[in-house]
Amino acid sequence: MHKGQVTIKDIAKELGISPSTVSKALKGHPDISSSTKKAVMDLVEKWNYKPDPIAQSLQSGFSKTIGVIVPEVIHYFFSTVIGGIGDLAYDSGYQVMFCQSNESYEREVNAVETLLTNRVNGILVSITKETENFNHLRKIQKAGIPVVFFDRICNEIESDRVVVDDEEGAYKAVKHLIAMGCRNIVHLSGPPNLMIGKYRKDGYIRALSEHGFPVIERNIIRCDTVEEARLVIPGFLSGNNIPDGFFAVNDLTAAETMKIVKRYGFNVPKDIAIVGYSSGQITGLTDPSLSSVDQHGYIMGREAVKLLIDRLEKDYSAPFQTKVIKTELVINGSSLRQ
């Protein structure tokens, strides 16, 4: 019985054949006789031979490794996307290298360089709030490596992508606020360069317009962080024209808005109703619990990996696809008026 880790050379030496013949036999090559294949497979089983994935990747140039760049790991939505990516990649025999850009364009550029240096086979990307130059992302495709954008996409680069129906999600959220009796709804919006911010604003505008309400410019304000909410919200709670509803571009901003609204003595949702976006864990930690739009991040992650693996393993030259994930409005106490 052979001791230590078995190699193809060990099997070849034992059988008196060349290592290349063993390699071909393991792959079922038609040039190898059935008797040689049987001898190789019998010895493989006897010695419990397992191929070395690193050696295989060096020989083939295909490492079965996927690179992933996300803006934030701590964000609940992205953590669920990562869960979906990791599970399907693992089930498909792929390893995953995760990079966090931390909403920094410079770190995103460095992440691309790191992944290219490590010779990943494909890359999944959700761009930062700062990203307006896309040369580093074009570099991925120029290197012959497929890229799939998810959630925060780049419209200037043709590629596979997985997106949420953000416009419809926002529309449903604002329509719900209107149904609850809100007539002066503020939209706390995202960065104008991100398509998700544009589409959520479009959904807000569509809901108001369809119900005959004017779109007031001052009721649409860039506010997508806790820090910005602390600066922006007090201004809306002073004076005579106090909003009776807030639709926030994400849950953290919505939760901080709720805190400020309550501190100013208003009742949520009786005086001011609030809806967020992402439907993460934070929705159950607020008082009252936060209504929010569920983006189904886990499904998005799995769909992104599936698109990438299909391109790598089935048809590299197939037409690019866009998968659209439907949203779901989860109504909780922050907006439900009896």
The pLDDT value recorded for residue 51 is 66
Question: How far from each other are the two terminal CA atoms of the chain, in whole angstroms?
Answer: 76
Instruction: Give the pLDDT mean for 171-178.
Output: 98
**3 belongs to a structural domain:** no
Write the CB contacts of 76 (distance below 8 Å, at least 6 apart in sequence). Answer: 251, 278, 280, 281, 282, 297
Same domain, 36 and 117: no
Each residue of 277-317: pLDDT tens digit? 998 889 999 999 999 999 999 999 999 999 999 999 888 78
Q: What's the CA dihedral at 206, 207, 211, 215 to 10 degrees?
A: -60
- Between 264 and 14, the more confident residue is 264
User: Residue type at 71?
Assistant: P
User: Residues 279, 312: one domain?
Assistant: no
Q: Is the pLDDT of residue 105 over 60?
A: yes
Do 99 and 218 share a domain, yes or no? Answer: no
Q: In this predicted structure, what is the pLDDT of residue 58?
A: 46
**Quick one: 108 and 257 in the same domain?**
no
Beta-carbon contacts of 97 under 8 Å, excluding residues fewer than 6 positions away, are 65, 66, 67, 68, 115, 118, 120
- pLDDT-derived band of residue 253, with 50, 70 and 90 as boundaries? very high
CA atoms in the 13 A half-sphere facing the CB of 318: 15
- Residue 207 inside a domain? The answer is yes
Residues 6+ apart with CB under 8 A from 112: 69, 123, 136, 137, 139, 140
pLDDT at 303 (0 to 100): 97
- Please tell me the predicted confidence (pLDDT) of residue 56: 52
Better-scored residue on pLDDT, 29 or 276: 276
pLDDT score for 2: 58
Same structural domain, 234 and 176: yes
pLDDT for 208-229, tens place per residue?
Answer: 999 999 999 999 999 999 999 9
What is the rounded CA–CA span in Å between residue 53 and residue 35?
A: 27
Strand 273-278 to 291-294 pairing: parallel
Task: Flag whether 333 is in a domain.
Answer: no
Domains: count for the chain:
3
Q: Are residues 179 and 275 in the same domain?
A: yes
> How large is the average pLDDT for residues 333-338?
92
Nearest CA to 123 out of 315, 321, 326, 307 is that of 307
| Together in a domain, 112 and 222 | no
Residue 331 domain-assigned (yes or no): no
Residues β-bridged to residue 164 = 325
Over residues 37-66, the pLDDT tens digits come to 899 888 888 888 776 654 555 454 557 899
pLDDT of residue 4: 59
Of all residues in the chain, what percent carry a pLDDT higher than 70?
Answer: 95
| Segment of 93-97, 194-198, 269-273 carrying the highest mean pLDDT | 269-273
- DSSP H or E stretch at residue 45: helix 34-47
pLDDT above 70 for 1: no
Domain that holds residue 43: 8-51
